[in-house]
Chain A
Amino acid sequence: MTRHLPALIIVIPLLSALVTSGSGWFNQKAPFRIAVSALLLSLLCAVLMLIQVVTTGIAMEYRMAGWAGPMGIVYVIDHLSAIVLVVITSVSCLNLVAQRKNIHAEFKDKQGAFNALYVLFTAGLIGMTATGDAFNLYVLLEIVSLSGYALIGLGNTRAPLATLNYLFLGTIGATFYLLGVGYLYIATGTLNMAELTTMIPKLMDSGVILFAFIICVTGLFVKMALFPVHGWLPDAYSQATPAAAGLIAPLTTKVTVYILIRICMTVFTPEYTFDHLDISGFIVLVAVVTIVFGSLSALAQKNVKKMLTYIIIAEVGYMVGGFFLGNRLGISGAILHIINDAAMTLALFLAAGIFIWKTGGESRSDLKGLFAKMPFTMAGFVLAALSVVGVPPTCGFFSKWYLISGGVQAGNYLFVAALIFSSLVNAVLFFRLFEIAYFEPFGEDEDHAHGHGNSHGSHHHVGALAIKEAPLDMLVPFLAACMALIVLGLYSGTIITNIIQFAIPTGVI
C-alpha cells in the first residue's frame, strides 16, 4: 500500500475532479463532500509519505505504469517534495472547508464545476511537486495554470480581463519553460531529472545548457511574478472570489519557487547554478528590487485584498533572493519560507474572506470597529500579521532569521537591508489596519444616516447589529491556520534539522 502512495496522492484528486463536476447535477451538497474527502485522502497520503521519508531517510520512487527510469515517468518523493506536498494538501483542504459558505453563496448551481476546478488545481500542484520528469512537469504546470485561469475568471465582473492578461503572461512563462526543456533534451537526450543531474556536470561549458537554464528560469520567473514581470498578479488575485484567492494566492507562487529550487538544484546542479554561472548576484539584486517594490506598492493600496497581493510579490523576492544567496542558511530560509509563507498567506486571505463575507467591502475603511465585533477573527488576523512582520514566536520570524543570516554569511547586505525594510513596511501596513479596526468606531456614518430618514437609518442599524463573530465553520479553519503559524514557528528547528537539511545537497555549504 505505502508503495503506491506517490501515485494515489495524485490519482485520487484527479479522478474525483471528474466525479465532482458531474455530481453537482444530482445533489447540491455532493460536490463539496467529494472534494473535501478527496483532499483529505491526499493529505493523509502526503503525511504518510513524509513520515516514511523522514524515518527511512530514503526518497520514494514510483514508476508510473511500471516503466522504469529514463524511459517511463517516475514520481520521486524526497524530503523537499514530501514537505511541500503536506503544505499543498493541508492548505487546499483548510481553505475549502473554510470557504464552504462563500462557495455556496456565489456558485449556487455551479458548485460542481467550481469544486472540480478546485480539486483539479490541487491535483496539478501535487503532480508538479512529485514528478521526476521535466516534460511531465510542464504538462502539470499547464493543468494548474488552466484550472487557475478558470477559477480566477469566475470572480467579479473585472475578473475576466485580469485573467486574460494573466493567461497571456502565464502562457509566455510556461512556453519559455517548455522551450528550455527542449534545449535540455537536445543537449542530453533525456527528460528524466535524475538522469539530467548526472549529465549536466559533463556539459557545464555547453552553450545549449546555458540557454536552457536561462530560458527555463526566465519562464519560471514570469510564473512566480518576480519584479519586472509581476504585473498580472495583483489584478488577477484581487479580482478572484475569496474561495479561489484563498487557494491560489498561498500556493501558486510558492510551488513555483519550489519548482525553481528543484530545477536549479536537482536538474542543473548547485555547482552549475551557483559556482559555474555568475548570475546569482544579479538575481539577488532583482529579488531586492522585487521586495522593495512589492512593499512600497502595498503601502499605496487602499483595498485590503490588493495590499495582500503586493505582499505576496515581496515574499516571492524573499524566497528567490534567499535561494540565490547560494549558501546553506539562505536556501534553508527559502525552503522554510515556502512552508511558512503558504500558511501566513492562507491565514491572511481567510481573514480577508471573513471581512468581505461580513462587511461586504474590501476597502481599508470597511474594517472600522471590527475588533469589538469579531474578537476571535481579529485575534487571528493580528497573529497572521505579526507573522508576516516577523515577530517571534510566529513562524515568519524564523524563516526571516535564516534568510538574514544567509545574507550576512554571503556578505550581501543589500538583501539584508531589503528584508529589514520590508518588515518595517509590513509593520506599518498592518498597524494602520489595526488602528482603523480598533480605534475607529463601527459604522461612523450611522448617526449621519439617522438624520437622513428612518428607512436609511434603520438599514444601517440592522447592518451594524448583524455583524458579529464570523460563523463557526469559517472561524475554526481560520483559527487552525493561525495556530499553525505558532506551531510552525515553535517547531521550525525540528523542520530544519529533520527535513530541510536533507533537502539541500551536501555540496552546498
Chain B
Amino acid sequence: MESIFSLVLAKANYAAYIILMMIGLYAMIAKNNLIKKIVGMSIFQTAVILFYVSIGCKKGATIPILRHHGHPEPVGHAAENAGAHAMDAAHGAEKVVAHAVDAAHNAVHVADYINPLPHVLMLTAIVVGVATLGVALALAIRVYNTYGTLEEDEINQQLRSG
C-alpha cells in the first residue's frame, strides 16, 4: 500500500492529469446540461495539455535559449552590433577561431535545458481546444434557440412528443 502511495506521489503530475481527465469524461457522459458537458470536454482536453507540459519539464533545467552565443563577454553588444558591418569582414577569420574556442568552453549541456517540443506542440493543442470550445458553444446556442432549453432530458422529451 505504501509503495503505491509513494509511486503516485513521485509521479503526481500523471496522477493529476488522469484525475482531471476522468472528471472531464464523467461530466461529458453523466451531466444533463449541455453547457456542463462542454465544460467537461474542456477539462478533458486541458488534462492532456497538462500531461504534455509535464513531460517536457525537468528539475533544475532552464528554457532552451543558449546563454552563450559566441561572444565571451556579453558587455558592449550594442556597440559591437553598430560596427558589425565594418568589423565582420575584417574579423571574419578571427571570429571563426573565437567560435571554435567558445564551442569548447561553452559546449551545450543538453541536461541543462528542458525539452521545448512538447510545450510547442501544446500551443497548437490549445488553439485546437479553443476552436472546439467555440464550435461547441455555437452549436449549444442553436440548440437553445430550437428547443428553448439546454437540459438534455427536456430536449429528448420534446423530441419524443413531437
Contact = CB atoms under 8 A, between A and B. Distances in A.
A185 B118 contact: yes
B135 A167 contact: yes
Interface stretch (B57-65, B68-76, B139-147): B139-147
A135 B139 contact: no
B55 to A, nearest CB: 6
Interface string B114-141: 0001100100110010011001101110
Interface stretch (A142-150, A300-308, A325-333, A476-484): A142-150
Contacts of B22: none
A6 B138 CA distance: 35
Pick the most buried of A135, A164, A172: most chain B CB atoms within 10 A of its CB: A164
Contacts of A175: 44-45, 48
A168 B37 contact: yes
Contact of A167 (B121, B125, B136, B155): B136
B28 A182 contact: no
Interface string A232-243: 000000000000
A186 interface: yes
Q: Is the interface of A mostly helix, strand, loop or mixed?
A: helix
B44 A164 contact: no
Contacts of A138: 125
Interface residues of A, number: 26
Interface in A189-237: 191
A172 B143 contact: no
A161 to B, nearest CB: 5
9 closest A-B pairs by CB: A160-B142, A142-B128, A160-B139, A164-B139, A160-B143, A161-B143, A149-B135, A157-B146, A179-B48
14 contacts: A146-B135, A149-B135, A153-B135, A158-B159, A160-B139, A160-B140, A160-B142, A161-B155, A164-B139, A164-B143, A167-B132, A171-B41, A178-B48, A185-B55
Interface of B: 25, 28, 34, 37, 41, 44-45, 48, 51-52, 55, 117-118, 121, 124-125, 128, 131-132, 135-136, 138-140, 142-143, 146-147, 155, 159
Interface of A: 135, 138-139, 142, 145-146, 149-150, 153, 157-158, 160-161, 163-164, 167-168, 171-172, 175, 178-179, 182, 185-186, 191
